[in-house]
Amino acid sequence: MKFLLVFLLLMLAISVGASAQNASLPDSTRHNVLFSSDSVLAFTLTSSFVRILKDRGDTTTAHPAQLNYQSPQGETVTLPVKLQVRGNFRKLWNNCSFPPLYLNVPKKKASHTVFASHNKMKLVTHCEGEEYVVREYLVYRLYNLLTDYSFRARLCQVSYVDSAGKRPTETRWGMLLEDESNLVKRNGNLPNKLRQISMANMDSLHMATLAVFEYLIGNTDWSVPYRHNIRLLTVPTIKNPVPVPYDFDLSGIVEAFYALPSENIGIASVRERVYRGISYPSALFHQVFDRFNQLKPQIYALYANDSRLDSAYVKRTLKYFDEFYAVINNPVKIFLGRAQKNEVINKPKEFSAVQKKSTPRLTTSKPATQKPIVKKK
């Protein structure tokens, strides 16, 4: 009897300790297991991909599919899911032979799986070149270093199996993106649906950080007023909305073969950097620059240590970073020169500053042949 009492007390202590430990975990770990790991997630999708790949109209259909993956215990987990073609540019046949998809997972059936608490997620597919997926994934990782108010991504190896056997099975790089509802839940915020709101009405520190980040990666494909590739968060502890960027495939750092700058920007290549933010007091800019300088080792290491990247691409990217850091550590011309003129203005004007640095030769017509991770069966 005494032994039983001691045993029960021991189990109670362990249970309480485990509960306390779990309570101390951040939301990203407790409720966002899918995006709390940096390991590659492998899974198989089985569906009528012949039908799915033809479904590229203005309104697309959700197609039934089956998802299989191996749990950490080695068990095969099977989930009924739905796949739906999405996107704008990459949905077109001329741009992508394999368009991006929505992956819709039933919440109840996925409650005890790696997909728990997730429902409709974006699946970035290989389109015409697998390495572009890895490159864009690393851009999300870059912004994760800067702030928790950022979308998280999970790199995947996805096997696509045609249920009718009309297409060969292929395994490719893919990327799952956190849904906005999970981003909001993870940070304890509220989504902000305001439209036609200017950058001057954003939280200054987060807006400046985003604008300098977009400059770092050479991205001009975004707009706060038009909510283009931007989501807004209402944060209880911050007076003004916080902008969150996404969709970086047209940025210079990714070097996608189809990436061309808008004619309105005034640059010949997406590798040419343009600061598209607004001017701020020099003290705020320096606060942002200090943050980038603090993270410089991690930013460089993210690319230098990734064996999935082509060595020539890594070399170009590190040089691209060198050019960025040379600018922010002597920023009078592009940032502070204009900011100092506007320090006394309550609502600063938007401006564009162009940095024309070395532009590597990019393929603009046809992508290089990409080998799948696993040979076609």
pLDDT at 107: 87
Total length of the chain: 377
pTM summary value: 0.82
Residue 150 lies in a domain: yes
Residues 53 and 157 reside in one and the same domain: yes
Classified as helix, coil or strand, 54 is helix
Report DSSP letters for 160-205, one per residue.
EEETTS-S--EEEEEEEE--HHHHHHHHT-EEE---S--GGGS-HH
Contact 228, 306 (CB under 8 A): no
Q: Kindly state the greatest CA–CA separation across the chain.
A: 83
- Number of domains into which the chain is organized: 2
Using the predicted structure, report yes or no on whether residue 61 has a pLDDT greater than 70: yes
Using the predicted structure, report yes or no on whether residue 367 has a pLDDT greater than 90: no
**Distance set, CA 297 to CA 123, 294, 300, 319 (Å):** 30, 8, 5, 14
Which of 44-53, 150-159, 289-298, 365-374 is least confident?
365-374
Q: Which domain holds residue 246?
A: 189-355
Q: At what angle do helices 311-328 and 282-294 cross, to 10 degrees?
A: 150
Percent of the chain clearing pLDDT 90 (strictly above):
61
Residue 10 lies in a domain: no
170 Ramachandran zone, left/alpha/beta (phi>0; psi -120 to 50):
beta
Summary mean pLDDT of the chain: 83
Residue 278 lies in a domain: yes
Q: Mind listing the pLDDT tens digit for each residue in 222-270?
A: 999 999 999 999 998 999 999 999 999 999 999 998 888 888 888 999 9
Q: Mind listing the pLDDT tens digit for each residue in 310-325?
A: 999 999 999 999 999 9
Using the predicted structure, report yes or no on whether residue 5 has a pLDDT greater than 50: no
Which of 75-79, 88-92, 212-216 is least confident?
88-92
pLDDT at 336: 62
Residues 102 and 230 reside in one and the same domain: no
Strand 63-70 and strand 153-162: pairing?
unpaired
Residues 103 and 167 reside in one and the same domain: yes
**Band of residue 355 on the pLDDT scale cut at 50, 70, 90:** low
Our CA angle for 363, 351, 263, nearest 5°, is: 35
Residue 239 lies in a domain: yes
Residue 7 lies in a domain: no
Contact 142, 106 (CB under 8 A): no
Of 182, 202, 235, which residue is a domain's last? 182
Percent of the chain clearing pLDDT 70 (strictly above):
80
Q: What are the backbone angles phi and psi of residue 256, rounded to the nearest 5°?
A: -60, 140
The Cα 310–Cα 296 span in angstroms is: 21
Residue 276 lies in a domain: yes
Q: Mind listing the pLDDT tens digit for each residue in 86-99?
A: 988 888 877 888 99
The Cα 285–Cα 204 span in angstroms is: 10
Residues 105 and 235 reside in one and the same domain: no
Q: What is the mean pLDDT of residues 205-226?
A: 96
One-letter amino acid at 324 equals F
Our CA angle for 369, 372, 373, nearest 5°, is: 140
pLDDT at 31: 54
Contact 174, 57 (CB under 8 A): no
pLDDT at 93: 77
Q: What are the backbone angles phi and psi of residue 333, rounded to the nearest 5°?
A: -70, -50
pLDDT at 132: 95
Contact 265, 223 (CB under 8 A): no
Of 128, 158, 182, which residue is a domain's last? 182
Q: Which residues of 300-317 are buried (b: 16+ CB within 10 A; e: fewer)?
A: bebbeeeeebeeebbebb
Residues 200 and 233 reside in one and the same domain: yes
Residues 205 and 339 reside in one and the same domain: yes
pLDDT at 332: 65
pLDDT at 182: 87
The 3-class secondary structure across 316-347, one letter per residue, is: HHHHHHHHHHHHHCCCHHHHHHHHHHHCCCCC
Residues 241 and 338 reside in one and the same domain: yes
Residues 343 and 200 reside in one and the same domain: yes
Residues 121 and 62 reside in one and the same domain: yes
**Band of residue 337 on the pLDDT scale cut at 50, 70, 90:** low
Q: Which residues contact 79 (CB under 8 A, 6 or more apart)?
A: 66, 67, 68, 105, 106, 109, 110, 113, 115
Q: What is the mean pLDDT of residues 331-341?
A: 58
Residues 210 and 330 reside in one and the same domain: yes
**Band of residue 153 on the pLDDT scale cut at 50, 70, 90:** very high
pLDDT at 362: 40
Residues 137 and 217 reside in one and the same domain: no
Using the predicted structure, report yes or no on whether residue 348 has a pLDDT greater than 50: no
The Cα 354–Cα 267 span in angstroms is: 8
Q: What is the mean pLDDT of residues 5-16?
A: 40
Residues 249 and 105 reside in one and the same domain: no
The two structure tokens encoding residue 14? 């362990």
Using the predicted structure, report yes or no on whether residue 81 has a pLDDT greater than 50: yes
Residue 132 lies in a domain: yes
Residue 204 lies in a domain: yes
**Band of residue 287 on the pLDDT scale cut at 50, 70, 90:** very high
